[in-house]
Amino acid sequence: MANRIRALLTGTHRYEKTLSTRHRGAGVIIQAPILAYLIETPNGRILYDVGCDYAKIADPALRARHYDPEVFPFGAPDMSQEQRLPAHFARLGFTAADLDVVFLSHLHFDHAGGLCDVAGCEVHVHADELAAARGREDAGYFPDDFSGPYRFRKQQGEYTVAPGVHAIATPGHTAGHMSLLVELPHGRPVLLCGDAADLTENLEHEVPPGLCWRDREDMAVESIRKLKRLAASEHARLWPNHDLAFWAGTMAAAECHQ
């Protein structure tokens, strides 16, 4: 099992709530954390998601090219140098070379853009996700985020990433979205939902995310229900992915007590 989980804040993004809760929240602007999760195990370090590509946010020309206001009416995320992965790793006393696995929930820009900061690592991603991303099936994919010489290990179905760390298929938001069940030495396991559930509201009311692959709301809702069933059977805590209040409270408290 894992020794601990750390939620790393890699940026924030202000946008209309409908992007997180489909057909709900028109006109309501929320501030969403963009997180990566460092999972430390006796067998090595696993990083779940990698945040955004800092250069695309900090460089005005790249920002204009990738965050076209017609496509991104709420603008680019906010991200500082101190929120980049190398800065997080340095504060924790290691470098990207000390990671054993990078596991991507999916390949949208706010989850895969930071691959440039972990180049050389083995990267696990669902094969259907990589195919959809390369076909740019929605505007959330930035092809140059994942077109470098990355060591992709394409996966199918569910599997054990490391003892006590299990990949869970949760398609719907994207074609090959994956969540992660993490067993811990103390307390209950944690289910990292990824964007299968941005907010606590998605889980409590079984509301699909705003963007659904090929408009498959049914698939997205079934993945939410699957996570809830798994949480009940494993007595696991569900961690939604873009919920600011949950990150500031539950995640921080959980990290302190692991």
Would you give per-residue pLDDT tens digits along the chain (258 residues)? Answer: 888 999 999 999 999 999 999 999 999 999 999 999 999 999 999 999 999 999 999 999 999 999 999 999 999 999 999 999 999 999 999 999 999 999 999 999 999 999 999 999 999 999 999 999 999 999 999 999 999 899 999 999 999 999 999 999 999 999 999 999 999 999 999 999 999 999 999 999 999 999 999 999 999 999 999 999 999 999 999 999 999 999 998 776 666 445
Structure tokens at 62: 């790249």
Quick one: pLDDT at residue 257?
45
Q: Does the CA dihedral 145-146-150-152 come out positive or negative?
A: positive
Q: What's the CA gap between 126 and 136, in Å, rounded?
A: 15
Question: Burial letters for 84-116: b for 16+ Cβ neighbours within 10 Å, e otherwise?
Answer: bbebbbeeeeeebeebebbbbbbbbbbbbbbbb
DSSP structural state of residue 20: T
Place of tokens 């430390």: 40
Structure tokens at 174: 């994207």
Place of tokens 């954390």: 33
Q: In Å, how far are 46, 124, 193 from 244, measured between CA atoms?
A: 23, 27, 15
DSSP structural state of residue 208: P
> Phi and psi at residue 222, in whole multiples of 5°?
-60, -35
